């Protein structure tokens, strides 16, 4: 076959093209960006309404070199933020934190803060669904971990327990979230299996 550039297709290059599969191992996006793309897809498809929570910031000093180009020179966090995302899915309030780790064998609890745990416990106590999405970056694996399982490890660490959650525990008790083209982190499918 001749192509518009005048070159002929060789059997070898054609065979290589057929064998190559898309490589999703390094998509160039962070977990939060992938979740935001997923949320946009859910919203457009009428599946869920979930948004990233804005971090409350107090702006102190702004420079106006031009009217159209304001530059923030100094700002402070007003308060510690709670979790990353919240919204509604299948008539239930959902609230979750997204974390990535470079560790292959466990998820360090030092990645989570007490105020986030307190917030997720309050959501859980009021009947909402609180959870954590954890990405093991070296393994390119993403899991949904229900908050009660997170709370067990969090509470045990103060009594001399582990300071991390083993990968094997998350793999066994969490719900693995495969990568998809439109819903990159299809956590709704994981919620369906665990809660609905």
CA 88 to each of CA 70, 129, 172: distance values in angstroms, whole numbers, following the listed order: 35, 10, 27
26: exposed, middle or buried (Cβ count in 10 Å: 0-12, 13-18, 19+): exposed
Q: Would you mind telling me the total number of residues written for the chain in this entry?
A: 196
Dihedral class, residue 44 (left if φ above 0, else alpha if ψ from -120 to 50, else beta):
alpha
At which residue do the structure tokens 């993403």 appear? 142
Q: Is 82 annotated as a binding residue?
A: yes
Q: Is 97 annotated as a binding residue?
A: yes
Q: Is 125 annotated as a binding residue?
A: no
Q: Is 100 annotated as a binding residue?
A: no
Q: List, as residue ranges, the binding site.
A: 82, 84, 97, 116
Q: List, as residue ranges, the binding site for Mg(2+).
A: 82, 84, 97, 116
């Amino acid at each position: 076959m001749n192509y518009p550039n005048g070159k002929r297709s060789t059997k070898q290059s054609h065979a290589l093209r057929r064998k190559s599969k898309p490589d999703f191992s390094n998509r160039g996006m962070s977990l939060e960006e992938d979740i935001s793309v997923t949320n946009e897809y859910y919203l457009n498809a009428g599946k869920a309404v979930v948004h990233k929570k804005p971090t409350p910031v107090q702006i102190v000093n702004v420079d106006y070199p031009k009217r159209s180009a304001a530059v923030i020179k100094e700002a402070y966090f007003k308060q510690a933020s709670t979790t990353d995302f919240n919204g509604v899915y299948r008539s239930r309030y959902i609230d979750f934190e997204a974390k990535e780790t470079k560790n292959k064998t466990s998820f360090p609890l030092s990645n989570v803060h007490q105020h986030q745990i307190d917030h997720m416990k309050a959501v859980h106590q009021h009947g909402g669904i609180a959870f954590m999405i954890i990405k093991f970056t070296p393994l390119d694996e993403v899991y949904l971990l229900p908050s009660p399982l997170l709370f067990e490890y969090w509470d045990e660490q103060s009594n001399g327990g582990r300071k991390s959650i083993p990968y094997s525990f998350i793999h066994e008790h969490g719900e693995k979230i495969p990568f998809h083209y439109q819903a990159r982190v299809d956590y709704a499918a994981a919620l369906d299996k665990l809660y609905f």
